[in-house]
Amino acid sequence: MSAPVISVRDLRVSFGRGASLIHAVDGVSFEVAEGEVFGLVGESGCGKSTILRAISGLNTEWTGSATIAGRPVAHRRDPAMARIVQMVFQDPYGSLHPKHTVETALMEPIRIHGLDNGARRIDRVLTEVGLSPAFRYRYPHQLSGGQRQRVAIARALILEPRVLLLDEPTSALDVSVQAEILNLLSDIKRMENLTYVLVSHDFGVIAHMCDRVAVMNHGVMLEELTVEDLMQGRMRHDYTRELYEASAGYSRRLETRADEADVAA
């Protein structure tokens, strides 16, 4: 069996001190195989986004160990690691500079890492996310929410990483647009053989995207299970069952929208 692309051991992240100390992530461990989509699901504040910020290098105050593609994750962001793992954030409105064109946003990582053929790379990733190269001259206010998130995905892809960390990538979008973005991410993963870690509070997103899922509550990973086991109700913890049943109606609506968007495409 090949080594996992992502390995996290006893990850712990705390905020505050004394009586105000909060254990946001408390001893979490998991592995993700190459080409897998691994989901982290739970209510807001359960620690799932904090995990992504730690292993991406955006949060430096953590303990434990993590490796991505065989490289230890440093506590401060490593430029070489940025070529391997990139992150897509929740808010497509806040993740793009309002006074920078799409071209400027996409060219920045190219310049930082000293890559050549910048114009060609930009045209390629814009096409890959379903936008024409003409979008490079637009500003964020000239884009819809879905188009902004496509640009954010393009920016994550511009360095040709092996791993994408997806932090609620569709939660700020309309349901119909959510389905389009989820299908786009599925297509990109298949074409580029990427590995995803997807954070969500929505089981509809998890069911549509993931192979396995870990359920988080108060910083602790309660259980890991396959999406098939999840959909069949084969979970061990009552919390997982309650969370899943609360999300079931919305999950069915999203899955229907995603299937319709896939057929239309």
pLDDT score of 258: 54
**Contact assessment for residue 205 and residue 213, using Cβ atoms and an 8 Å cutoff:** no
Looking at residues 62-87, what average pLDDT do you find? 91
Q: Which of 56, 91, 66 is nearest to 12 (CA)?
A: 66
State the pLDDT at residue 62: 95
* The predicted structure's pLDDT at residue 245: 85
The pLDDT value recorded for residue 257 is 54
pLDDT digits (tens, 9 = 90+) for 101-130: 999 999 999 999 999 999 999 999 999 999
Q: Which domains does the chain have, with CATH numbers?
A: 1-74+163-265 (3.40.50.300), 93-160 (no CATH)
- Tell me what pLDDT residue 110 has: 95
| Collapsed DSSP state (helix, strand, coil) of residue 202 | coil
Check whether 256 has a pLDDT greater than 60. no
Q: What integer pLDDT is reported at residue 4 of this predicted model?
A: 94
Give the pLDDT confidence of 16-51 residue by residue, as tens digits: 888 888 889 999 999 999 999 999 999 888 999 999
- Residue 87 tokens read as 């992150």
Selection from 73-77, 158-162, 260-264 with the highest mean pLDDT: 158-162
Phi, psi of 228 (to 5 degrees): -60, -45
Q: Decide if pLDDT at 254 tops 90.
A: no
Q: Can you give the pLDDT at residue 18?
A: 83
Mean pLDDT of 188-200: 96
Give the chain's mean pLDDT. Answer: 90
The sign of the dihedral angle between the CA atoms of 86, 90, 95, 98 is: positive
**Which strands, in side-by-side order, build the sheet including 63-68?**
22-32, 6-15, 63-68, 71-72
pLDDT value, residue 119 = 94
* Contact by Cβ (8 Å): 73, 67: yes
Q: What are phi and psi of 226, to 5 degrees?
A: -75, 155
Query: Distance between CA 99 and CA 76 in Å, rounded?
Result: 28
Q: Let me know: does 64 contact 9? Beta carbons within 8 Å.
A: yes
3-state class percentages of the chain: helix first, strand second, coil last, to nearest 5: 45, 25, 35
Q: Where are the beta strands (DSSP E) in the chain?
A: 6-15, 22-32, 37-41, 63-68, 71-72, 85-88, 163-167, 195-200, 212-217, 220-226
Q: Are the C-beta atoms of 54 and 62 separated by less than 8 Å?
A: yes
Q: What is the DSSP letter of 172?
A: T
What pLDDT is attached to residue 9?
Answer: 97
Cα 78 from Cα 71, distance rounded (Å): 10
Residue 183's pLDDT band (cuts 50, 70, 90): very high
**Per-residue pLDDT averaged across 214-222, rounded?**
95
Which pLDDT tens digit goes with each residue over 124-156? 999 999 999 999 999 999 999 999 999 999 999
Give the residue among 158, 165, 151, 128 at the shortest CA–CA distance from 37: 165
Burial of residue 32 (CB within 10 Å: 0-12, 13-18, 19+) is buried
